[in-house]
Amino acid sequence: MSRKRSGVTMIETLIALGLLITMFTLWEPVIAIMGKMTWVDAELLSVSTFQQAVQNQVAADETLTIDDNQLVIAPGSRDKTVERYTNDTEKMLRFATKESGGHEPLLLNVAAIKWQAAPHAVKYHLTMVSGRIYEGVIVDGTKTW
C-alpha cells in the first residue's frame, strides 16, 4: 500500500528562503530611492508654502516693492518685509514687521534669493542650500483680473 505524504520538504524550504533573501536584497535600493524622493518633495512643499504665505499677506490695496534685495509689502496697517536672514547655523527667509519689530520664519535652508520687479507683481529666483532653484511670482493687491 502506498501512503500519501503531506508537508514541506527541505528543498521547498530552501527555495522559499532563497526567494525571501532575494526579495529583501532587491527592496533595499527601492526604499533608499523612496526616501530621497520624500526629501525633495518636502523641499518643494516648503517653497510652495512660502509663496502662499507671502501671497496671503498681501491685502487688496497693498503694493510690492524691492528695497535692498528685500520684498516690502506696503502701505498697510503695518509695513511687512520679507528678508533673508543668516547666522552661523541658520539660512532662512523671514517676515519682519516695522510696527512690532518682530520676525517670523518663512523658509529654511535658503542659500540666496533675487527679487525682480514686474507689472503688479514681483518675481523671485530662489536658490536652496541643496542647490535646487525655484522661481515664482507674488502678485500685488492692486492687480485687477
101 pLDDT higher than 80: no
Task: Tell me what pLDDT residue 92 has.
Answer: 92
Q: Classify residue 67: in a domain, yes or no.
A: yes
Condensed to tens digits (0 to 9), the pLDDT of residues 28-66 reads 887 777 776 666 788 899 999 999 999 988 877 788 889
Q: Classify residue 43: in a domain, yes or no.
A: yes
Give how many domains the chain has, as a whole number: 1
pLDDT confidence band for 93 (50 / 70 / 90): very high
Q: Classify residue 2: in a domain, yes or no.
A: no
Please state the pTM of the whole predicted model.
0.67
Q: Classify residue 20: in a domain, yes or no.
A: yes
Task: Tell me what pLDDT residue 59 has.
Answer: 77
Q: Return the DSSP state at 80.
A: E
User: CA distances (Å), 106 to each of 27, 53, 89, 92, in order?
Assistant: 37, 8, 16, 7
Residue 19's contacts (CB-CB under 8 Å, 6 or more residues apart) are none
98 pLDDT higher than 60: yes
130 pLDDT higher than 70: yes
Q: How far apart are CA 54 and CA 44, in angstroms?
A: 16
120 pLDDT higher than 90: no
Tell me the mean pLDDT in the region 111-136.
93
Look at residues 94, 91, 93 and name the one whose alpha carbon lies nearest to residue 129.
91
Q: Classify residue 5: in a domain, yes or no.
A: no
Q: List strands edge to edge, sheet with 70-74.
A: 63-67, 70-74, 80-86, 91-97, 103-108
The whole domain housing 109 covers: 10-139
- Cis check for the bond before 105: say yes or no (omega within 30 of 0): no
